[in-house]
Structure 1
Amino acid sequence: MLQKPIALALLAAFSCAAPAAEDAELAAIRSQLAELKKNYEQRIAALEDKLAQSRAQAEKPAAVAAATEAPRLGTPAGGFNPEISLTLQGQYKSMKNIDERGIAGFWPAGGHDHESEGIKGISKRGFSVDHTELMLAANVDPYWRGQAILAALDGEVEVEEAWFQSLGLDHGIGLKGGRFLSGIGYQNEQHPHAWDFASAPLMYQALFGEHGSYAQDGVQFKWLAPTPIWLEFGAEAGRGANFPGTDRNQNRAGAGALFVHLGDDVGSSHSWRAGLSYLHTRAREREAEVHDANDVHGDASFTGRSRTWLADFVWKWAPDGNPKYRNFKFQTEYFHRTERGDIGCVGEEAGAACDGTRDSYRSRQSGWYAQAVYQFTPHWRAGLRHEQLDSGSLRIGANVLAQLGDENQMFARYRPKRSALMLDYSWSEFSRVRLQYERDRSMPGVTDNQFTVQYIMSLGAHGAHKF
């Protein structure tokens, strides 16, 4: 009978202990929840304070800008902060010493030059400094941008480019005015420091002279069509003072150009661009040195029209579109030029055959080049270029032809050729040194093996080069 009361007592004790334990556990959970809630409330309050501070700081500059906007617009010169860059170029060149060096079968783009060292710009041997280019560019306002490039060499400074360009025109329309490199062809818009070889292609030297490009003083209009592929149309009107034209000091335009460019991507690693261009200009008394039929120095002059067609094609490859480590570029251009007008020649000494008589002149010429450049490491590139011109057909009236004789290489029937190998190293996008070998056969009976070591150093801000 004693065991029964003991069992009842133990049962009562356990029944009281169980609720007590449950109450303690629940109290602990409630305490933890309260602590978590307190911590979260503190963190939320801190974030709200931080957000309020950020809003206050953002509103303060906006208010200051609004207060000072009127004075700034009233004094734009005070905000002038242009992009400035300086390009240093120079070279050492080993080649034959050839009197009156030129491109046989083509009118010398250097013009009137009696120096025995040959045409200026393509006859320099040994060490020399190329143009030092100073570039300044900036946005004029939200609607216009301006750029000027000054080239200094041997105490002379020339304005290579000085133009303004629209930024805010709609419907894919672009407008440029001033002095600019024409949009014809592919390489024409590139400055020498952006070339893949140390020299311009023979084609560009024959067409436009020692600078290897055609510049316009005038206006340029472009329209980017709203098409799935990149499609651009352009037109230019200019003074036409540069070769193959001459400065004629007139009110109307002396040269006009039309061009169309199109391109697209092929997958993620390939891209291409093709173009067709037309340049029309006029020349008045465009001069060149000649030896007449009596071997007396004289000056020939051409007056008439010059029309040039250019076709270009470029293909680029880079793994997954990233050209930093490896890339390949193929580039080719073709030209066809016709000139029609009249020609005459005047002798400079007694006994000259040239007497100023003028007669008809017609010429039809063509040429091309193709080059490939492969970057096989982030710093090293190698390139190969081959080019050939065709002096084509030439018709000169019998009266002047008899006076000119047949000893002038500019009237010779010839196909100039040149091949080049290039290797360059770039420490960065701003510094490059290049070694180039050229086998030049641009003159009859002459094979000139030329070696060039070139450096290109760019200082300061410099925009990306064109495609």
Structure 2
Amino acid sequence: MLKHSVLAAALSAAVAAPQAYAADKKEQKELAAIRAEIRDMKAAYEARLQAMEQRLQQAQSDSAAAKAQLATISGGTSATSSAGAPAAAVATTAIPTAAAPAVAAYVESPAAPASASGATPASNLFNPNISMILGGTLQNLKQDPSQYRLQGFAPSGGEVGPGKRGFSLGESELTMAANIDPQFAGQLTFSLSGENEVSVEEAFIQTRAMENGLNIKAGRFLSAVGYLNGQHAHTWDFVDAPLAYQAFLGGQYKPDGVQAKWLAPLDQFLEIGAEAGSGAAFPGNDRNKNGAGAVSVFAHIGDDIGASSSYRAGVSYLHTAAEKRAYEDEGLTNNFSGKSNTWIADAIYKWAPNGNPTNTNFKLQGEYFRRKESGTLNYAVDTDAAASGDYRSVQSGWYLQGVYQFMPTWRAGLRYDRLSSGSQRTGLIDSGALAWANLPILQAYNPTRSSFMVDYSPSEFSRLRLQLARDQSRPGVTDNQIFLQYIMSLGTHAAHSF
């Protein structure tokens, strides 16, 4: 029995040995395959890593070369990252816009060191952003535009009237804007008229990193009083400014001074601000005065109404003064010296289905102006008929307009303007020294105008507009006006405010 057991064990071992060897051989092959797979993966990873390092080095080299080239051209101005200014979330219409420093792209340079404040400076490759607005108009006017006046209101000397007949280049704008550093941004806008005149529309710096919703702007800027005043003309829904803007602000109020705004940390939009300026802009004039010659305060509120509507409303007050603010009347030069106080109430309502204005949207907008002036009226200055007397007036005006986008690229709108020359106390008339025939432009009247427009915007950068208006700014005279306008936007652009 023992011999048989030993023999069986020997036979079993003899059979198992080849099987174990075969299993071990198979395991070794599998391990070798896994090791080879790991080596391939490692080689591929290292190759990809090397390629990425080469791309990074190339990008750094290109960035350094571009910076060196730009420094050679412009002295090496640098740009920084920016944070957009808070604004109410509302539905807006796509319209041509101008560049603004409040919104800029953040471009991080891998080789750029961190600033003292901890922020990484952005590339200066596209500093500053440049945009251009090209505009032109063909105007057909029934009445001679050289005879245009707003009866009952002393001429402002600004952008008043429909302009000249026929083809006109209109006003073009060139804007340069950039972030200066983590603390400041700047913007410069030139206005180029069809008469080859160049003027500074805006030139200001503004803060970017102040806390608690505070923002300060200094230089020349479009004042935040009212609603339409703070927008460039190419963003308007009609060819020209409302009559109230022409009569009370000379078209637009652009002070040279400083502005402070505070945005409240609320779910609703609440903005409060104040401005102090030189007072040289109408309704003031240059008085060769130290300090602030004009001050204004304003407050705006806004919010959403459900998912499809939003609104903004505001009130503004402008106090300034004038010294020998001159105007022409029947070939004679008269002037006014005294105080001027203007109140403005504004409101705008916007609707778009579910907040999406792409296909259809509607907006209703209006403003009310009330101005009180008191001082001295000087008649026929520098002539033998010169005379002076007290002058006081309380005048008002308003406009209401609605614009409906009925197709993705088509809009239509209506606007109605009305002014009231109100009550005027003229000492020279009350005393009998003069008659109203001597001051014809100040005789009481309520100018009105009705306008209809339709425009086509194939993209957010171009707009074609037809506008028809019936202007009754003078007694017994009706001016039927036809405008054909184009507005083209070139360059980098930021979003419009609400």
What TM-score results when the alignment is normalised by the length of structure 2?
0.77
Q: 2:77 aligns to what SS in structure 1?
A: helix
- CA deviations over 1:163-185 (Å, ceiling 9, x no partner): 01111111111010001010100
1:263 to 296, 302, 323: 302
Task: Name which of 382, 387, 395 aligns with 2:412.
Answer: 382
1:285 aligns with 2:324: yes
Q: 2:276–2:296: 8 Å Cα contact kept in structure 1?
A: yes
CA distance in structure 1 between the partners assigned to 2:411 and 2:29 by the alignment: 68
Partner of 2:243: 202
Aligned AA (1:165): Q
Could you tell me which of 222, 228, 231 is aligned with 2:267?
228
AA aligned opposite 1:135:
T
The corresponding residue for 2:138 is 92
- Tell me if structure 2 keeps the 8 A contact 1:258–1:277: yes
Q: Tell me if 1:81 matches 2:122.
A: no
Name 1:306's counterpart in structure 2.
340
Identity %: 48
Q: Tell me how far 1:76 sits from its aligned partner.
A: 4.1
Residue by residue over 1:251-304, the C-alpha shift from the partner in whole angstroms, topping out at 9 and shown as x without a partner, is 12110010011111223321111111110000000112234xxxxx42221111
Unaligned runs of at least 5 residues, structure 1: 1-25, 112-118, 292-296
C-alpha deviation, 1:394, in angstroms: 0.5
Residues 1:158 and 2:199 aligned together: yes
2:368 corresponds, among 330, 334, 340, to 334
Letter in 2 for 1:142: P
- Tell me, yes or no, if the aligned pair for 1:101 and 1:123 is still in contact at 8 Å: no
> 1:272 aligned to 285, 297, 311, which one?
311
Cα deviation digits, residues 407-426 of structure 1 (max 9, x gap): 34432222111111100111
Matched, 1:465 2:496: yes
SS at match of 1:265: strand
Tell me how far apart the structure 2 counterparts of residues 193 and 184 of structure 1 sit (CA, whole Å).
Answer: 19
- Separation in structure 2 between the aligned mates of residue 180 and residue 161 of structure 1, nearest angstrom: 5
Query: What is the RMSD of the two structures over their aligned residues, measured on CA atoms?
Result: 3.4
Equivalent residue number for residue 398 of structure 2: 368
Equivalent position SS for 1:410: helix
Q: Which amino acid aligns with 2:394?
A: R
User: Matches of 1:155 and 1:258 in 2, distance apart?
Assistant: 35
Q: Partner residue of 2:92?
A: none
For 1:178, which of 219, 227, 251 is the aligned residue? Answer: 219
**Letter of the aligned partner of 1:332 in structure 2?**
G
What amino acid does structure 2 have at the position aligned with 1:447? T
Q: Secondary structure at the match of 1:458?
A: strand
1:318 to 332, 336, 352: 352
CA contact (8 A) 1:344 1:400 kept: no
CA distance in 2, matches of 1:311, 1:204: 13
Q: Displacement, 1:30?
A: 9.6
Q: Find the aligned partners of 1:30 and 1:271 in 2 and give their Cα distance.
A: 73
Change in 2 beyond 3 A, CA 1:121/1:387: closer
- Sort the Cα spacing of 1:62 and 1:128 in 2 relative to 1 into closer, same or farther, 3 A: closer
Aligned partners of 1:420 and 1:438 also within 8 Å: yes
Matches within 5 A, 1:32-71: 45=42, 49=46, 52-53=49-50, 56=53
Report Cα offsets for 1:45-72 as digits up to 9, x if no partner: 478547855885698699989999x999
Report the more deviating stretch, 91-100 or 133-142.
91-100
Aligned-partner SS, 2:229: helix
Counterpart of 1:101 in structure 2 is 148
- List gaps (5 residues or longer) in structure 2: 1-22, 79-123
User: Kindly tell me: are residues 179 and 33 of structure 1, through their superposed partners in 2, closer, same or farther at Cα, counting changes over 3 Å?
Assistant: same
Distance 1:49 1:399, change over 3 A: same
Letter in 2 for 1:238: G
Count matched residues.
Answer: 425
Match of 2:17 in 1: none
Residue deviations 1:424-448, cap 9 Å, x none? 1112111111000011111111121
Inter-partner Cα distance in structure 2 for 1:285 and 1:174: 35
Q: CA deviation at 1:387?
A: 1.5
Q: Which residue of 2 aligns with 1:21?
A: none
Separation in 1 of the partners of 2:223 and 2:335?
A: 26
Q: Write the distance in 1 (CA, Å) between the matches of 2:204 and 2:294.
A: 18
Cα offset, 1:367, TM superposition: 1.2
